[in-house]
Every structure is written in structure tokens, then in C-alpha cells.
Amino acid sequence: MKCHRFSFHGNTHAGKKDPADALNQAAAFSHEVARRADVKGIKTIYNADQTAVFFELLRRTTITKTGSKSFWVKCGNMEKERMTEMVLDDSHGLKYPLFLVMKTAPSKILAVDT
């Protein structure tokens, strides 16, 4: 790219705020949340954060002896499996156990009652 005098350009302007304005806005938001919780009689406020977790990444390449035949691995157009981890805590400082959310296709095997 440099030899042809090309370069990448991107829109990087995301806005700028004065740090004092940001602190004032955060304090105003905090007071508004506390006021609404008091008006509605809310005693506990929960905070949930979610993060994607990837597992079972399927390889795109294999290492074999030179001259051996190639083979295809069936993966159903899925390169990875994904789950979401939820971290939950509350306004009293309590931390709750990690909660995992997994989304999969429905099973094709009928459930059997025992």
C-alpha cells in the first residue's frame, strides 16, 4: 500500500466532552436513579454484565504428511459454539454465582419419561 501511496482512512470522531461535564452528568444520573428508587420504594438495584464466551473453535487447517490426500471435516457451517456468561451483583455488594446462557438448536431426540 505504501509503495502506491494509498492509506486507510476511517471516521474516528466520536465526540468530545470536558471531564468536568462528564462528572456532572454522571452525578446527575446517580441522583436521578437514587430519587426514582426512593419514590418507587426500591430497596435493591441489580447490575448484570454479559460477556460472550467462545469454545470449540474448529480448525480451518490441518497438519498432515506431505503428499497425503486432503479430507473435509463436516461442521454444519458452524465454526464455533458460543455462550453468554452473566455476572450479577446488587447495590448491597452481594455477588451472585456465575450464570451461563447457551443457545443451541432444539434436540431431534424425543425425551423419554422414566
Cα distances (Å, whole numbers) of residue 76 to 9, 97, 110: 37, 33, 22
- Answer yes or no: is 7 within a domain: no
Residues 42-84: tens digit of each pLDDT: 999 999 898 888 776 666 666 677 777 766 666 555 556 678 8
What is the tens place of the pLDDT at every residue in 82-93? 788 889 999 999
Q: Residue 50: which domain range?
A: 19-63+71-102
Residue 112 lies in a domain: no
Q: Look at residue 77 and tell me if it is in a domain.
A: yes
Radius of gyration of the CA atoms of the chain, in A: 26
In a domain, 4, yes or no: no
Q: How many domains does the chain have?
A: 1
Confirm whether 6 is domain-assigned: no
60 DSSP 8-state letter: S
Q: pTM value?
A: 0.48
Inside any domain, residue 91: yes
Residue 39: inside a domain: yes
What does the mean pLDDT of the chain come to? Answer: 77
CA pseudo-torsion sign 13, 15, 19, 25: negative
- Grid look-up 436513579 returns 33
- Is 97 among the domain residues? yes
Side-chain-side CA neighbours of 53 within 13 Å: the count stands at: 14
Q: Which residue type is seen at 7?
A: S
